[in-house]
């Protein structure tokens, strides 16, 4: 019989979490869960209702009957907000900042974490986020904390936008967005961005994607 594995990948924006986690999930044929997309969907709902994403009281109410679903279609993760596929609507700068704001609210986090743990209880997963190793899956098989310098992370995100044809956001804008979220995510009281004591920290500033993936696959072999 095969044992269920869970791999937690945490770290700040642009460290390479989702890129690496997706590749690990393909290699190991296990489910990938992008937990950031869930907070982004909550932010989108708030923005649509003209709710200030820092209004804790209104957000606590908003998530009471929110329906966030993650479906895997053709090896791709799609995120559904109250039945609507919002996958292509949650990558804007406004939603990024909004996600970081709604993620401060304990009621929002508890609701998301419930969904995340439910998925991990049924399938082997590789999950990326900010609090996976410290809070969501404290008993994960392997915990990775990915980092890279702020300059490198901003450059990566900026290049990604250029590839998508987005040219109205400067490198400075991208850097400021990341700095705001890093600070906000690390300083919140409940389940902040932090390295778990038993996580392996990888500084990827000077590593290629392939090097990072191979390093993690090696660590998985050692532990599983």
Residues that bind ligand CDP (CB under 6 A): 11, 13-19, 35-37, 39-40, 96, 99-100, 103, 129-132, 156, 160, 181, 185, 204, 207-209, 212
Q: How far is the CB of 2 from ligand CDP (least distance, A)?
A: 26
Q: What is the end-to-end Cα distance of the chain in Å, rounded?
A: 14
Q: How far is the CB of 7 from ligand CDP (least distance, A)?
A: 14
Q: Which is nearer to ligand CDP, 5 or 90 (CB)?
A: 90
Q: Which is nearer to ligand CDP, 5 or 132 (CB)?
A: 132
Q: How far is the CB of 23 from ligand CDP (least distance, A)?
A: 10
Q: How far is the CB of 103 from ligand CDP (least distance, A)?
A: 3
Q: Which is nearer to ligand CDP, 2 or 33 (CB)?
A: 33
Q: Which of 137, 126, 133 is nearest to 217 (CA)?
A: 126
Residue with tokens 């709710």: 51
Q: Which is nearer to ligand CDP, 5 or 129 (CB)?
A: 129
Q: How far is the CB of 87 from ligand CDP (least distance, A)?
A: 12
Angle at 58 between CA 54 and CA 64, to 5 degrees: 120
**Strand (E) positions, 96-214?**
125-129, 142-147, 200-203
Angle at 28 between CA 31 and CA 123, to 5 degrees: 35
Contacts (Cβ under 8 Å, ≥6 apart) of 80: 41, 67, 68, 69, 70, 71, 86
Q: Which is nearer to ligand CDP, 32 or 39 (CB)?
A: 39
């Amino acid at each position: 019989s095969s044992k269920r594995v869970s791999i937690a990948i945490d770290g700040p924006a642009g460290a390479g979490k989702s890129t690496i986690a997706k590749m690990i999930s393909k290699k190991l044929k296990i489910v990938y869960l992008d937990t950031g997309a869930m907070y982004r969907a909550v932010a989108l709902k708030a923005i649509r209702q003209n709710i200030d994403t820092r209004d804790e009281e209104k957000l606590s109410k908003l998530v009471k009957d929110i329906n966030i679903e993650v479906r895997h279609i053709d090896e791709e993760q799609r995120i559904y907000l109250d039945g609507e596929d919002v996958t292509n609507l949650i990558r804007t700068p406004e939603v990024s900042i909004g996600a970081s704001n709604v993620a401060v609210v304990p009621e929002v986090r508890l609701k998301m974490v419930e969904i995340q743990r439910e998925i991990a209880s049924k399938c082997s997963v590789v999950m990326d986020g900010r609090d996976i190793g410290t809070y969501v899956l404290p008993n994960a098989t392997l915990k990775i904390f990915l980092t890279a310098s702020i300059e490198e992370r901003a450059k990566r995100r900026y290049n990604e936008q250029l590839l998508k044809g987005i040219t109205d956001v400067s490198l400075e804008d991208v850097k400021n967005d990341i700095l705001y979220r890093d600070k906000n995510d690390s300083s919140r009281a409940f389940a902040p961005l932090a390295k778990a004591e038993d996580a392996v920290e990888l500084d990827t500033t000077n590593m290629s994607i392939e090097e990072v993936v191979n390093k993690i696959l090696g660590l998985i072999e050692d532990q599983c």
